[in-house]
Amino acid sequence: MANMDIANPSEEHLMLREMVREWTQEYVEPQAHEHDRDEKFNLELLRSMGELGLLGISAPEEYGGAGLDAVACTIVHEELSASDPGFALAYLAHSMLFVNNLAYNGTEEQKARILPKVCSGEWIGAMAMSEPDAGTDVLGLSTSAVQQDDGTWLLNGRKMWITNGCIDEEGTPADVVWVYAKTGEDERGRVQMSTFLVEAGMPGYSVGQKIYDKTGMRASNTAELVFDDCIVPEANLVGDVGQSLLHMMGNLELERLTLAAMALGIGRRALDEMNRYATDRVAFNAPIREFGQIQRYIGESWAKYRAMRAYIYDTANNLTIGTSGQRLDSDGVKLFATTAAKEIADAAMQVMGGYGYVGEYHVERLWRDAKLLEIGGGTLESHQKNITRDLFKDGEAINR
């Protein structure tokens, strides 16, 4: 037990980390600054991750996936994000929000037909829940799906803020999107939501706009998607009518864990940058790390980084993909780590002075990217609400 490292609990996990870190250094790091500056998504780089077996990291091997666990997913997101959080977000939208969702909730026919394509990178996937007028209030959605006499579904509505919604500058939509739509009300008058697989080429599916001028995550594409009398075959309904909440519950914990893992990558990189700079930079005839105020930035950042790392990997080691039961902690890690990452990046900018404020020195990009993690995939307020509600139901969680 003495040398146990919960971030690398097995030899395989350590090898995965080393492989991804090396690959990231060689291919992700050199393009990160430019793609952020130009607000450009590196589609080919994402596709190439199919050859590494990382696009279907959690999907079963029989469909072309790698069949790995939540710790492995956490490692990959941490490593990518330490170089390029924007690119890591595009990876997350594809592999966690789409591929993992399909792997655990899709029908056999859907999995056999679509998983090999998204695991190889031939197809790029996205997940569309948010709308122009509904985000946190998921059941406030207005995109509707109505079944026609011939069995097909007619989708109408708009989805907003969809990562990978478009895959280039020409408005080419994602090859396949996991779409939540309203299909009626249940017997108690509550909104009934169903899940559909919408594929490029289906009539009525298009990109409304690529969203420019984001604060951060500029290396990922964010788009508005339009469904205008979009015809979806009957076979593209996922599971049964009204099952979306089940799908969301099954996937949400892994989504939040990996978003927290992205925050961990940001925190680690920002700390590394400020630590090196504090040695190299001399002022008043001394390296600035000798000044007490600089020591406070570094010392507090180290403690926050280690705390987030421990909490994130503790949660990852206890999370079984496809099951729910870790919601307190998947909300908890995202709540804690995202703000911690933003604060560490902020400390790094402060330590690095004017250099910290320009793109070449990385930390200002990490600072901008970190902010999104407090909003996307659940806002800080939604995590606070969920945790407080869950602790009302199970107060004993505190003493276990």
Could you tell me if 111 and 63 are in contact, meaning their C-beta atoms sit under 8 angstroms apart? yes
Residue closer to ligand FAD (CB basis): 113 or 385:
385
DSSP secondary structure string, 34-102?
HHHHTT---HHHHHHTTTTT-TTTTS-GGGT-----HHHHHHHHHHHHTT-HHHHHHHHIIIIIIIIHH
Contacts with ligand FAD in 95-114 (CB under 6 A)?
97
Position 186, amino acid: D
* CA proximity to 301, closest of 273, 262, 329: 273
Residue closer to ligand FAD (CB basis): 158 or 281:
158
Residue closer to ligand FAD (CB basis): 14 or 375:
375
* Residue 255 annotated as catalytic: yes
x/- string (CB under 6 A) for ligand FAD, residues 127-166? xxxx----xxx-----------------------xxx---
Among 222, 236, 301, 339, indicate the residue that binds ligand FAD (CB under 6 A). 222
**Annotated catalytic residue within 39, 79, 255, 374:** 255
DSSP secondary structure string, 93-156?
IIIIIIIIHHHHHS-HHHHHHHHHHHHHTSS-EEEE--BTTBSS-GGG---EEEE-TTS-EEEE
Among 153, 346, 377, 383, indicate the residue that binds ligand FAD (CB under 6 A). 377
Residue closer to ligand FAD (CB basis): 323 or 384:
384
Among 66, 248, 372, 373, indicate the residue that binds ligand FAD (CB under 6 A). 372
Among 93, 124, 260, 270, indicate the residue that binds ligand FAD (CB under 6 A). 93
Q: How far is the CB of 201 from ligand FAD (least distance, A)?
A: 21
Residue closer to ligand FAD (CB basis): 69 or 224:
224
Instruction: By CB under 6 A, tell whether 339 contacts ligand FAD.
Output: no
CA count, 13 A, side-chain hemisphere, 351: 35
Among 21, 33, 113, 385, indicate the residue that binds ligand FAD (CB under 6 A). 385
- For residue 157 the two structure tokens come to 């509505």
Q: d(Cα 397, Cα 400) in Å, to the nearest integer?
A: 5
Could you tell me if 277 and 352 are in contact, meaning their C-beta atoms sit under 8 angstroms apart? yes
Could you tell me if 340 and 308 are in contact, meaning their C-beta atoms sit under 8 angstroms apart? yes
The piece of 9-17, 123-131, 273-281, 292-300 that touches ligand FAD (CB under 6 A) is: 123-131
Which residues are tagged catalytic?
Answer: 255
- Where do contacts with ligand FAD occur on this chain (CB under 6 A)? 93, 97, 126-130, 135-137, 161-163, 214, 217, 222, 372, 375-377, 379, 381-382, 385
